[in-house]
A and B are shown apart, each in its own frame.
Chain A
Amino acid sequence: MSAPPVLEARRLVRAFRQGRREVRALDGVDFRLEPGEFAAVVGPSGSGKSTLLHLLGALDVPTEGEVLFEGRSLHAMSDDERARLRRTQIGFVFQFFQLFPTLSALENVEVPLLLDGLSPPRARERARALLDRVGLSERGGHRPEELAGGERQRVAIARALAPDPRVLLADEPTGNLDRENGARVLDLLGDLSRGEGRAVLLVTHDERGAARAGRTVRLLDGRVSAAPEP
């Protein structure tokens, strides 16, 4: 084998305490995402999809098992190193957009670049180019509340792509959009990764979303269920 997987989950367990009860949101999940691969995670609500994505995105820490980014264990990294990974290597698109309400579209896209130490003029330049690519060059000065749902999600995608990450994680990015806008967002995710060697992992309910993926993983009660894997 040549390159290691971009992301790899090994026997991943994530337990939550709900009052007295312990809930295992993930219960021993193994998973690999190869460089440049476009994969989808599907499953009913509450099956652990978001939890998996959070763990893969270094947003959360597993109870057991480990996550490897390009062969390196996240567990072994310091909090600062994980933060660095998030701001340079992993782009995350959230279901509810999660834009800073007080910043303009352009400024929202600049945030990860500024955090990474890019000078404000260069960050602006790059943010403009990205907004251009998601088709929002005219809307850069608007704040999220002035944008339509689809537009907001495109800003979020531009932001996720801003640092030119190795992998893009998207948690039901079309869940709050109508069919037409949903389709556009999915197109964008595909287009912006293909040809750049970027891996994409998409959580979706949407059959069409899953259809675009080269591979679909099905989660059920925190476990990977036997599913057709081409």
Chain B
Amino acid sequence: MRGAFGFFSLRPLWRKKVRVALSAASVAIGVAAFVATAGTNRSLLAALEQSASAMGGKTDLEVRSPLGWVPLDLVETVREVAGVEVALPFSAFAIRLARPRFEEPVLVVGVDLAGDAALRVYRGSGTVSGLNPLALLSGSGALLGRPLAEELGLPVGSDFEVSCPAGKRRLVVAGMLEPEGMGKAFASRVMVMPVGLAQSLLSAPDRCGEIHVLVAAGAPKEEVRARIEAAVGERFLVAPPEGPAMRMESVLGTLRVTFLLTSIIALGVAVFLVYNSATLAAAERAQEFGLLRALGATRRMVLALSVGESALIGAFGALPGVGLGAILSNAATRLFVRDVAGAYFVLPRVEARVAPEHMLGGAAAGILAAAAAALLPAISVSRVSPLFALRREIREDPLRLTGRLRVVGTALFLAAAIVAHLLGPDRLPHAGWIVFAAISAALLLGVWPATRALAAPLGACLRRVAPVSGRLAYDGFVRSPGRIGFTAAAIAAGFALALQTSLVLGSCREAIGNWVVRTLGGDLWIFHGSFTTAFGGGPFGEDVLEEVRRVPGIARAGSARVRLLPIHGEMVMLTAFEPDDHAKRGKFDYLSGDEATTLRELPGRRALLVSEGFARHYRVARGEGVRLPTAKGEVEYIVVGVVVDYSWPMGVVLVDRAVYREDFGDPMLDDCVVVLEPGADAQTVRKEILARVGDRYDLFVGTLGEFRDEVLATLDRFFGFMRAEVASTVLLAFLGVVNAVWIGTLVRSRELGLLRAVGAPSRTVFRLVTIEGLLIGAAGGAIGAALGIAVAGEVLSGLSIEFTGYGIPLRVSPWPVLATAGGSVLASVAAAILPARAASRSGILEAIAYE
């Protein structure tokens, strides 16, 4: 049996080099997409975990507050609790470097110089070994990660400038940290300084970020924790260090699910191609396998031979696929970290790394998928009767379901999809996924009846135009529901994915672009840092707003503080804005409430507007209360309206900034919005603003149009990432059509030979085969267009609501739809050309030789 494996599984691969290469390439693409996605996720999480553990050190417990800071004098209180060995202040935040200019975030860590070595590892460069480098710090000195200092060209003793909430500050390089322990945090883009200096950069000298506690050896951790809780009061949280991964997980969940979904579809289409290829091999080699059966091979042997062959193809594809995935993972990680996740989080530089288990998993998935794809055709081939060898007709269609059953099943699944869609995620948990499952089932069941129904009128036309080839092509088409149906499904799925991506992007662009202009409004926007990335210099002082209001050419200037706040364990965005100023430049889209009510009930009161997602997620409506963790403890704010807001996937609450400043003790700003006087020149005003406040902060001033374009560009980059996967899926679907049409010509080689024997020119055969491609493409295109619209609609409503709480209206523009249908037809006809040429050139006698 093992010897037979060489004859009947290995050698055929060598004979069919081109086709094997195609199948292997498709598996490689699928595996690569999978490995790259997994690798990107993994790299991101690994980088975060690593930073967190470097910063956490040996910390057992942390004392935190929802506001992100605790008073410094609380450290003493905690220190006095029985069972506490060490209690130390700790602050960490990202900052901008103004000189030398550096466009990426740097992490500032503020610690207690005397005690911190008890918790964390510090190793200085070029210092006497054993010396704690923290001892080098004094005045405005900071320890820089050595890789960062080298990247910036800053030797020990040199000075540099940062732009932070307190304004621009000059600091000195007091020493360097080897990339080890704390020196490894944030991929070594880190600077360590006394907590007092760090807090002065934030203009909050008597605070620190959190308190890190080391429990005394032998003391019961839970009891100590309870004692600390009692000592600090209920406004503070005492808990083991929290991993940043959890928070990432919830916010980036949607994006990552989208990636994963796309790579699963890519792998699925690859499986389809292998299936097709295996069917082709089965059709070609049914006789050979029949002969093997006649010579005494059991069914299981034949099954093993043909599944083994596909598993080999899978292995050929999986190995380069893993390599390709590892390489892609690099680019994908960079893209994802900088352009996608970077919009939500301040992230360190992330090294792409693919875990061995992902490589092995990807390779195994490829091989198994290929073997599984071959199972159906292999079973059908193992069932050929031994006598088959002596005959020459080929049976197709392993899937036999009666037509009526299919139509009824399809209708039921479609009905289920519609019902789930109408119910929506509010009334039916996971409605989006149910809709997808039902649509997929309907596609699998219904693709053949639908294909046939769609191709019928076209077939009738073709018979008029080309009586012989049109007739025969349509007959062959109708006789092979399995082959044609699966192929139409693949081409439909490929193009539906492309259409869906395009429609979703188009709808998001439309909705979000309009929202920026209509709701945010204004002429010029001032930020501390860049437009859309989470990374900036932090908030800035109100003095900027006052100065800006004095710039000539400016009619009005408003401001907002934008920050994250934990509510019930999730990070919600809080926007504190100026309602009256805002009403003069932008309009909210209300889902409940209206502008007049807002202007009456919001200013000066503990009231808030909530975003659609927030309202849905926390089940609050107008008139109800939301408790916010303020500097005065938990305070209830009353909901005065529900509005559209796309700025944060986990939900947004909007409050009056005057109330916020009072309740949160926070006068800082994250942006200023300027409305120009009629006729004022935006560029002149921009220059004037920078001239007046540029020495205080490293600010960024842009027009509303630039702001919107930047938001849309981020969106485009995210979708650009997905497009690569979509393109490979379409390519795979194309290869699938090549294969399927090829099978058709093999299955019908006798008929085609006969046609030529009775005098049909090779042109007729060529036409016949390309017409089959045309029929598949037309049906696949129509199904794909419908499918793409349906899926896009569901992604924007059901899935979007499930993940972000808000839906986005679907906008169907005719161009992508037409392009999908046309692309499908063109691709299918093009795919048919190669097999058509081969069929029209094959010898007549060969085809009709036997019997």
Contacts and interface: CB of A to CB of B under 8 A. Distances in A.
Interface of A: 50, 54, 57, 59-60, 79-80, 83-88, 92, 94, 96, 98, 100, 102-103, 107, 110-112, 114-120, 123, 159, 163
A115 B2 CA distance: 8
Interface in B755-786: none
A112 B1 CA distance: 9
B288 interface: yes
B89 interface: no
Nearest to A159: B295
A108 B387 CA distance: 18
Interface in B285-303: 288, 291-301
Contact of A100 (B3, B291, B299, B385): B291
A80 B291 contact: no
A83 B2 contact: no
Contacts of B386: 59-60, 86
Given A100-B291, A117-B1, A120-B2, A80 B7 contact: no
B298 A84 contact: yes
Of A94, A102, A159, most B-chain CB atoms within 10 Å: A102
Nearest to A79: B299
A118 B294 CA distance: 18
A115 B390 contact: no
A219 B55 CA distance: 94
Contacts of A87: 295-297
30 contacts: A54-B387, A79-B298, A79-B299, A83-B297, A83-B298, A83-B299, A86-B296, A87-B295, A88-B296, A92-B295, A98-B291, A98-B294, A98-B389, A100-B288, A102-B12, A102-B15, A110-B3, A111-B4, A111-B295, A114-B2, A114-B3, A114-B7, A115-B4, A115-B297, A115-B301, A117-B1, A118-B3, A120-B6, A123-B3, A163-B296
Of B3, B12, B298, B299, most A-chain CB atoms within 10 Å: B3
A119 to B, nearest CB: 8
Interface string B377-390: 00000000111011
B299 A115 contact: no
Nearest to B4: A114
A86 B297 CA distance: 8
B815 interface: no
A94 B390 CA distance: 9
Nearest to A121: B3
Interface string B287-331: 010011111111111000000000000000000000000000000
A96 B850 contact: yes
Nearest to A89: B296
Interface string B1-37: 1111011000110010000000000000000000000
A213 B288 CA distance: 32
A60 B291 contact: no
A118 B296 CA distance: 14
A120 B3 contact: yes
Nearest to B291: A98
Contacts of B299: 79-80, 83
A92 B294 contact: yes
Contacts of B389: 94, 98
B291 A59 contact: no
Nearest to B390: A94
A115 B12 CA distance: 17
Nearest to A51: B387
Contacts of A94: 389-390
A48 to B, nearest CB: 14
Nearest to B388: A59
Given A98-B291, A116-B296, A60 B385 contact: yes
Contacts of B11: 102
A130 to B, nearest CB: 14
A154 to B, nearest CB: 17
A214 to B, nearest CB: 27
Contact of A115 (B1, B288, B387): B1
Nearest to A120: B3
Interface in B796-841: none
A85 B296 contact: yes
A59 B387 contact: yes
A60 B300 CA distance: 18
Contact of A83 (B4, B288, B296): B296
A86 B3 contact: no
A98 B3 contact: no
A59 B292 contact: no
A86 B7 contact: no
A110 B3 CA distance: 9
A4 B53 CA distance: 83
A57 B295 CA distance: 10
Given A80-B300, A86-B386, A98-B390, A115 B7 contact: no
B385 A115 contact: no
B248 to A, nearest CB: 55
Contacts of B294: 57, 59, 86, 92, 98
Nearest to B850: A96
Nearest to A117: B1
A90 to B, nearest CB: 8
Contacts of A85: 296
B382 to A, nearest CB: 10
B7 A100 contact: yes
Given A60-B387, A86-B386, A117-B1, A107 B7 contact: yes
B694 to A, nearest CB: 78
Contacts of B12: 102
Contacts of B15: 102
B750 to A, nearest CB: 16
Closest 9 CB pairs of A and B: A87-B296, A114-B3, A86-B296, A120-B3, A83-B298, A114-B4, A59-B386, A80-B298, A112-B295
Nearest to A78: B298
Nearest to B294: A59
Nearest to B293: A83
Of A83, A85, A100, A119, most B-chain CB atoms within 10 Å: A83
Contacts of B297: 83, 87, 115
A137 to B, nearest CB: 21
A85 B298 CA distance: 10
Given A59-B387, A94-B390, A114 B1 contact: yes
A163 B295 CA distance: 10
B9 to A, nearest CB: 12
Of B11, B294, B295, B390, most A-chain CB atoms within 10 Å: B295
A114 B301 CA distance: 11
A111 B292 contact: yes
A97 to B, nearest CB: 10
A115 B296 contact: yes
A54 B389 CA distance: 12
A106 B295 CA distance: 16
Interface string B100-128: 00000000000000000000000000000
A116 B298 CA distance: 10
A7 B385 CA distance: 21
Given A60-B387, A94-B390, A123-B3, A115 B295 contact: yes
B119 to A, nearest CB: 67
Contacts of A119: 3
A94 B386 CA distance: 12
A100 B292 CA distance: 9
Contacts of A80: 298-300
Contacts of B291: 98, 100
A88 B297 CA distance: 10
Contact of A111 (B2, B7, B387, B390): B7
Nearest to B3: A114
A182 to B, nearest CB: 20
A94 B294 CA distance: 10
A103 B11 CA distance: 9
A166 B445 CA distance: 50
A92 B387 CA distance: 12
Given A59-B385, A100-B291, 15 more contacts: A59-B387, A80-B298, A83-B297, A85-B296, A86-B296, A92-B295, A96-B390, A96-B850, A98-B390, A110-B3, A111-B295, A114-B3, A114-B4, A115-B1, A115-B297
